[in-house]
């Protein structure tokens, strides 16, 4: 494998990686939007769930 082929392969890998990162970023951004939308739609329920989850975690941590 000569240097030019190696360089080409590395460039392809980099492009693929960048594409994957971009997709992951988009998916995370979508997820973030959905979570925020749910929290804004039902703030009381979400707060209560978070409170309950914290309580359970605290209980588990205290043992």
Size of the site for another protein (CB under 8 A): 22
Nearest distance in Å: CB 60, another protein: 8
Q: Is 55 in the site for another protein (CB under 8 A)?
A: yes
Residues belonging to the chain:
63
- Eight-state DSSP code of residue 1: -
Which one of 1, 2, 5, 58 is in contact with another protein (CB under 8 A)?
A: 58
What is the Cα–Cα distance from 40 to 6, expressed in whole angstroms? Answer: 51
Count CB atoms within 10 A of the CB of residue 42.
Answer: 12
Nearer to another protein, 8 or 34 (CB): 34
């Amino acid at each position: 494998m000569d240097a030019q082929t190696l360089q080409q392969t590395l460039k392809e890998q980099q492009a693929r990686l960048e594409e994957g990162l971009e997709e992951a970023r988009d998916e995370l951004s979508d997820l973030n939007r959905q979570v925020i939308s749910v929290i804004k739609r039902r703030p009381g329920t979400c707060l209560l769930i978070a409170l309950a989850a914290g309580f359970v975690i605290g209980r588990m941590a205290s043992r």
